[in-house]
Structure formats: structure tokens, C-alpha cells
């Protein structure tokens, strides 16, 4: 009997909730007591601007790349600094947990104002009263920033 004669067995597929947390980055951009958030085309919730960290990429590199892709803003890589981590089940991910590394960063001098770009349909400036407009990780972010956001 050769390996060609054996029945094929595919590796088991893990349920989303059993997968390791999805590592993402989010830009903490507070202006006039409001937090910048974005809504992706076809989605009903607002998310922190940012996204997935690609293999071989640092969190800071991912943040700079994602913010430029989504909003057209060029962040100063030397200004990127950690804020906090928000971990919660991801919206629309079947229970998979998102571990979002939230970071502060300043735009480079002359960078344009944030504007919808790529897959981004809409921007919003949120306060703690907007928890119904964000996924679970976004609720954690709004709670953590409540002291600096307008009521």
C-alpha cells in the first residue's frame, strides 16, 4: 500500500473562537474631546483607524502603513508610542478575539487632514455616548479614553 492508497484526511479546521487573537493596531487620535473612528464600506460599525499587522512588520510600521492607506495621513514613525491594548471578540469574526494595540502618533508636518481612502466609507468623531456605534474593542477604547473625551 502506498501513500496514494490511503484515505485523504484534511487537517481539522479551528472554529474562529479557538484561533489565537488577531493582532491589530489602532490609532488613538483625539481632537476637541472626540476620538477619530472609521467605517469600512459595507460595515455598520465604526472602528479605530488601523488594521492587521502583517508578518515581519512592527506595530509602528503597521500603524504608519494602515493610516496612510485608510486616511491619506502620513504619520511620523518616530512619534508612535503605545497607549493600551483592547482585547474583545471581533465584530463579524465569528467569535475570534481581536487584540488591538492602540497607539498615539503625530502626523508629519504638511500631512493632509484625515479623509476616507481605500475601503473607508466614512469618518466620525466619537464620544463615550457613541458606544452603540462601535464593536466591543471600540467600547473598551471609549471607556479607557473617557477622561479625555467630551461627555
Q: Give this prediction's pTM.
A: 0.87
Range of the domain at 96: 22-150
Is the residue at 145 inside a domain? yes
Neighbouring CB atoms inside 10 A of 34's CB total 17
- Report the Cα–Cα distance between both ends of the chain, in Å, rounded: 72
Domains held by the chain: number:
1
Local structure of residue 143 (DSSP, 8 states): H
Radius of gyration of the chain, Cα coordinates, nearest whole angstrom? 18
Is the residue at 56 inside a domain? yes
Output the pLDDT for position 90.
85
Q: Which CATH number covers residue 146?
A: 3.90.79.10
- Please, which residues have CB within 8 angstroms of residue 25's CB and are 6 or more apart in sequence? 50, 51, 53, 59, 62, 63, 66, 100, 101, 102, 103
The yes-or-no verdict on residue 31 having pLDDT over 80 is yes
Identify the weakest region by mean pLDDT among 6-10, 49-53, 73-77, 94-98. Answer: 6-10
Output the pLDDT for position 2.
54
In Å, how far are 53, 107, 141 from 80, measured between CA atoms? 15, 10, 17
**Of 65 and 10, more confident:** 65
The yes-or-no verdict on residue 93 having pLDDT over 80 is no
Output the pLDDT for position 9.
58
The yes-or-no verdict on residue 128 having pLDDT over 60 is yes
Our separate counts of H helices and E strands in the chain read: 2, 7
Output the pLDDT for position 25.
98
Is the residue at 6 inside a domain? no
Is the residue at 13 inside a domain? no
Amino acid at each position: 500500500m502506498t501513500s496514494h492508497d490511503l484515505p485523504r484526511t484534511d487537517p481539522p479546521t479551528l472554529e474562529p473562537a479557538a484561533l489565537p487573537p488577531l493582532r491589530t493596531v489602532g490609532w488613538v487620535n483625539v481632537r476637541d474631546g472626540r476620538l477619530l473612528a472609521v467605517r469600512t464600506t459595507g460595515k455598520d460599525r465604526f472602528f479605530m483607524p488601523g488594521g492587521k499587522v502583517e508578518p515581519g512588520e512592527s506595530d509602528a510600521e503597521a500603524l504608519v502603513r494602515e493610516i496612510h492607506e485608510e486616511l491619506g495621513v502620513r504619520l511620523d514613525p518616530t512619534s508612535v508610542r503605545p497607549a493600551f491594548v483592547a482585547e474583545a471578540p471581533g465584530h463579524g469574526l465569528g467569535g475570534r478575539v481581536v487584540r488591538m494595540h492602540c497607539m498615539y502618533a503625530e502626523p508629519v508636518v504638511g500631512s493632509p487632514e484625515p479623509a476616507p481612502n481605500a475601503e473607508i466609507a466614512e469618518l466620525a468623531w466619537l464620544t463615550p455616548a457613541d458606544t452603540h456605534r462601535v464593536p466591543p474593542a471600540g467600547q473598551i477604547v471609549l471607556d479607557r479614553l473617557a477622561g479625555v473625551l467630551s461627555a
